[in-house]
Amino acid sequence: MKTYKRTKLACYSAYVTMASAFALPPLLFVTFHDMYDVSYTLLGTLVLVNFCTQLTVDLILSFFSKYFNEKFLVRVMPIITATGLVVYALAPVLFPNSVYLGFLIGTVIFSISAGLSEVLVSPVVAAIPSDNPGRDMSFLHSLYGVGVTVVIVISTIFFKLFGSENWSFLTLLFAVLPISTAILFMTSPMPDMTPSEASKGGERSKRYAIGLALCVACIFFGSCAENTMSNWASSFMENALGIDKAIGDILGTAMFAVLLALTRMGYAKFGKSITPVLFVGMIGAVACYLLAGLSTNSVIALIACVLTGMFTSMLWPGALIFMEEKLPGAGVAAYALMASGGDLGASIAPQLMGIVVDKVTASSFAADLAIKTGLATEQIGMKAGMILTAVFPLIGIAVLAVTVRYFKKNNA
């Protein structure tokens, strides 16, 4: 009988190392803005490209998964991550006349790997025999928060010792990490990820399709709430709150990731019912975004940013757990559609905030308000972006209520 302990370890390692591709670029936004004169809209576009690339991968695997060797893709995806980070780090050397183009290409490459990871790692863990697959899924996603925390701490120490202008060397350092994950996958057995008969495309009922669509909507709005803060917290604390970058990254962005990880670990150990957790998460996210945007006290705004990590922590993995409970036996295609919803939310919301920051900052409204409040127009722009983002989890509450009612009505 096969044992999958090494396989689980490889999956866990994949989520820790994948954090470098997600967490590092936002930490460099201000550096890129200052060193290469990249606008906040273009910085937001990097986030958009990141998640749109993942979305494309998700959709391809949603509809054409039978044409791919899934076990092979799982094993090579960490190597793709490392390649993308190397291109990202060497962008000023490879593209001296258009550094931003290098950032785009590197982003596309490591985003392909991230898309593969989102689609394939969760069903691998779900396919491994377990007494409590929901808790395994929560623990898996908690390790992403651990990875983000490690990236932030190492980055902060590096910038203090060597300066942010040497960011490319730090990126190369993180490019080494996924290689160990690749070695683990290549030496581990893979479980069967064939979907159950109930979830196969030719026999999928109308109820199954509607239920899956509602779950995708839930993960979309949850992803909007989580990823806007995770991508913009560092810049918001530095430029909107006037907090030193090192302090902001450690007390703010890193603590966001710590609470993200601890809450997911807490559910993995003690969690019983995911539905109330999802409702509390959405409601708490609305409150945190409004508080971060409206508060005139930097400490209170920072605390709101940090607490967003706790409230949004289960919105993505919780939607996957909810889907698995209501639609058992879902295969790679279903997980790919869920990842598509999550990546779409992570594409739209951070990009929208970047646009709002630039537009509001350049507006006469911000100029007039700056005179009255003593704030810089950029601070007003970033606060406006935070307030707008509260709309996503607010709508998410309504969507979740409709989804729960639908499954209850259909005895699922």
For the chain, what are the domain ranges? 5-186+204-409
Structure confidence at residue 195 (pLDDT):
60
Annotation: CATH topology of 5-186+204-409: Growth Hormone; Chain: A; (1.20.1250)
pLDDT band at residue 203 using 50, 70 and 90 as cut-offs: very low
Picking from 138, 107, 84, 359, the residue whose alpha carbon sits closest to that of residue 231 is: 107
Dihedral sign for Cα atoms in the order 238, 358, 289, 217:
negative
Dihedral over Cα of 175, 128, 263, 235: its sign: positive
The Cα angle at residue 54 between residues 127 and 214, in degrees rounded to 5: 65
Distance CA 300, CA 53 (A): 35
Query: Coil, strand, or helix at residue 200?
Result: coil
User: pLDDT at position 1, please?
Assistant: 45
State the average pLDDT over residues 189-214: 69
- Higher confidence at residue 347 or residue 114? 114
pLDDT tens-digit series, residues 389-408: 999 999 999 999 999 999 98
What the block records as the tokens of 369 is 């308000």
State the average pLDDT over residues 328-354. Answer: 82
Q: What percentage of the chain has pLDDT greater than the value 90?
A: 28
- Report pLDDT digits (tens) over 260-280: 888 988 888 887 789 999 999
Closest CA to 58 of 342, 317, 313: 342
| Across 236-257, average pLDDT | 80
Q: What is the pLDDT of residues 375-389, one digit of tens each?
A: 889 889 999 999 999
Q: What is the pLDDT of residue 148?
A: 80
